[in-house]
Each structure stands twice: as C-alpha cells, then as structure tokens.
C-alpha cells in the first residue's frame, strides 16, 4: 500500500474508522501521552502488518486499550481482586496491567507469553474510538521501533505515510512518560516499566 492515509480531526464521526478496522487496516490515533497505532487485536494478518511497519521484534508484545471491565473479559481470563483495586484507583489513566490472556488472542500479539497488557486510556478521543469500534484496540506507539514516539500528527506521517490507512489528528499531545506497566499474574505486583504513575503510589495501594 502506497496511498496517503485518510485524515480525520478528533471531533469527526468515526464511521470510516469502523470500516478500516473491520478490513484489517491500521489507524493512528491520539492518546493522553503519544500517538498510537490501532489494529484489531484478534485479526492475525492485521497484527502481523502492524509489527512489519514498526519493525517490531516478535518477542515484544503489544498491549491493548479497552473501554470497561466488560471489554476486559474479552482479552483476560480472570480479573484478580488486586487488579480490581488498581483499576478503581488508576483507570482511566496511564497504567497498563498485565493479565493472563484469553486463548483467542493471536500469539504474535503477546509474543507467546500467554499474557496481555491492558489499560483504559484517559484520552477522550481514544475512548471514543474504542467505543465506536466496539472492540479492544492495540495501543503500541506510532513510531518505528527505536524511534521517538510522536506527539504531533505530522510526525506520524513522517514515519508512516503510505503505510497506514487512517490518521486521527488530535493536535499536539502532552508527550509524558507513557504508561506504567505492571504484571499481576502471579498474585503480586511485578514492575515492568515505571512511567507516568509512580511505583510507590501503586505499591501503597496494594
């Protein structure tokens, strides 16, 4: 594919996004930190294409955004009590929680780990997109692996013009640290990456 992507502003209806998503296309969208890349996480071909354009190593899993607890059940086998406490405190927001993944998740998305990172975004645009698509969406940053995550739509085009199908222009973003990532699959908190939420704050809650 070498055509330029369709560009929508953040207030537009997302009808075109639904069609592109269902067809296995790639959508760039704004979050509360950086621009991200969205594909259908249940579509193996779309996931493979996402990894290809990012040059992402197959051993690096991709997390997803969801709308609510009901949607969490589509990607996670169980929701432990520890996770429920964290969810009440930090969602929506930049906390990615790693759960045991449902078997219907393509192994490539989760690097054959059997686990999946999930969060509810604090960005109204991200959440409106998830709601419009009625599905979890991938939440990897919209940059080739090793490059700086973009905070402006122009930067996304500089990286991926001709390789994505749709760009939702949310203006200049905050560009904070990104989400904090924790794994709770063993019944305790394992810190994978400290980001916008301090680890001390998370550990105090647990």
Q: Which domain holds residue 180?
A: 6-205
Taking residues 159-179, report their average pLDDT: 92
* CA nearest to 69, candidates 79, 59, 77: 79
Predicted model pTM: 0.94
Asked whether residue 48 is assigned to any structural domain, the reply reads yes
Report the 10 Å Cβ neighbour count for 52: 10
Number of folded domains in the chain? 1
CB 20 within 8 A of CB 27: yes
Asked whether residue 122 is assigned to any structural domain, the reply reads yes
Helices of type H across 57-101: 69-72, 81-90
Asked whether residue 160 is assigned to any structural domain, the reply reads yes
pLDDT at 19: 97
CB 189 within 8 A of CB 206: yes
Domain CATH code at residue 105? 3.90.870.10
Asked whether residue 198 is assigned to any structural domain, the reply reads yes
Which residues make beta-bridge pairs with 58?
none
Asked whether residue 1 is assigned to any structural domain, the reply reads no
As a whole number of angstroms, the distance between CA 65 and CA 127 comes to 8
pLDDT at 175: 74
Q: Does the pLDDT of residue 114 top 80, yes or no?
A: yes
Asked whether residue 52 is assigned to any structural domain, the reply reads yes
Asked whether residue 65 is assigned to any structural domain, the reply reads yes
List, for residues 138-162, the tens digit of each pLDDT value: 999 999 999 999 999 999 999 999 9
| DSSP-assigned states of every residue in 106-155 | -TTTTTTSSEEEEE--S-HHHHHHHHHHTS-EE-EESS-TTSPPPSSHHH
């Amino acid at each position: 594919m070498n055509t330029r992507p369709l560009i929508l502003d953040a207030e537009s209806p997302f009808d075109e996004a639904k069609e592109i998503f269902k067809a296995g296309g790639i959508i760039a969208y704004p979050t509360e930190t950086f621009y991200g890349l969205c594909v259908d996480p249940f579509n193996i071909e779309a996931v493979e294409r996402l990894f290809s354009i990012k040059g992402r190593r197959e051993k690096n899993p991709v997390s997803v955004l969801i709308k609510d607890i009901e949607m969490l059940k589509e990607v996670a086998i169980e929701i432990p009590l520890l996770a429920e406490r964290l969810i009440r405190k930090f969602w929506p927001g930049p906390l990615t929680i790693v759960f045991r993944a449902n078997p219907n998740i393509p192994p490539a998305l989760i690097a054959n780990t059997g686990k999946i990172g999930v969060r509810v975004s604090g960005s109204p645009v991200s959440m409106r997109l998830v709601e419009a698509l009625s599905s979890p969406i991938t939440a990897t940053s919209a940059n080739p692996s090793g490059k700086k995550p973009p905070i402006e739509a122009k930067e996304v085009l500089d990286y991926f013009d001709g390789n994505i199908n749709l760009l939702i222009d949310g203006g200049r973003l905050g560009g904070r640290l990104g989400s904090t990532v924790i794994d709770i699959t063993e019944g305790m908190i394992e810190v994978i990456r400290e980001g916008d939420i301090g680890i001390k704050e998370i550990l105090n809650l647990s």
